Amino acid sequence: MRSLFSFPNPVNEVSARLVAGGVVIMTALFLAGQHWLLVPLAFGFVARVLTGPTLSPLGQLVTRGITPRLGVPAKFVPGPPKRFAQGIGATFTVGAVIAYFGFGSTTAALVLVAFIFVAATLESVFAYCLGCKAFALLMRAGVIPEDVCEECNNIWGRSAAAA
C-alpha cells in the first residue's frame, strides 16, 4: 500500500495525458480571463507532486472516473519523470500565483501559465512530456542519479523505438 505522500511508479500514461488535458482546459480558461482558476491550478500541481492523484481533484476525477470508463488498456511509464514534470508545473503555477496576487503582475502570471499551456498541450495531444525530456537530460548529465529511475536510463531509445 502506498503512503499518502508518495508518487505512483509506474504511472498510467493514459491518465497522465487526460490530466494534462484538464490542465490545458484550465490554463486556456485562465488565459481567457478566468483568473480565479490560478489557485486551483497551482493546488493541483502541488498536490500531484506530493501525492500523485491522491489529493488532486483533477487526478481523482481522471484516475477514478474517466480512465476506467474508457476501456483503453493502460500504458505504464516510469513515475519519477512524471513527478519531475509535475514539479515544474507546480513551480510555474506557484510563481504565477505569487506574481498575480503578491505583486499584481498579470503579465508575468499570463506568461508563466502560457508555458504550462504549451507543455500540457504537448503532453495531452502528442504524448510528448517536456518535463520527462528534461529529466532524461539531467540524468544523462549526472545531475539526477541513475538509481532514481533505472528504467529511465533508456528513455531516448524507447522514444525512438516507439516512433
Per residue in 34-55, pLDDT (tens digit) is: 999 999 999 999 999 999 999 9
Kindly give the parts of the chain with pLDDT less than 50: 155-163
Half-sphere exposure at residue 11, Cβ-oriented, CA atoms within 13 angstroms: 32
- Exposure b/e, 100-139, CB count within 10 A at least 16 = b: beeeeeeeebbebbebbbebbbbbbeebebebbbebbeeb
pLDDT at 149: 82
149's CB contacts (< 8 A; 6+ apart) are: 78, 79, 80, 81, 135, 139
What's the predicted TM-score (pTM) here? 0.89
Q: How far apart are CA 29 and CA 114, in angstroms?
A: 11
